[in-house]
Amino acid sequence: MFADIQRKGPFAYWYHRHLFCPLSDSTTLMTDEIEYKLPAGFLGDVFGNWIVQGRLQKMFDYRHRAVAEKIAKEMQTIT
């Protein structure tokens, strides 16, 4: 596991954990857990949360596919 903490940036608060859980000798489950708070208090939550959640989902879907493809390519060069 490792984590990213935003010190400065667009979020009022951001904590992102990358978790890796071995399932077998050749399989690892990769999970992202995110805690965040939008700026502008209540208004940010009401008007921005659904937009941010959709964008984060797309971003992490892409990242997980990219990591899986990279690992698959690396495994091909090893074998």
Residue-wise pLDDT tens digits, 7-21: 999 999 999 999 999
pLDDT for res 18? 92
Quick one: which of 31, 28, 3 has its CA closest to 15?
3
Number of structural domains (the chain) is 1
- Alpha carbon 35 to its chain's center: 10
Domain that holds residue 48: 2-78
pLDDT for res 7? 94
Distance CA 22, CA 27 (A): 6
How confident is the model over 24-55, as pLDDT tens digits? 988 889 899 999 999 888 887 888 888 899 99
Give the global pTM. Answer: 0.73
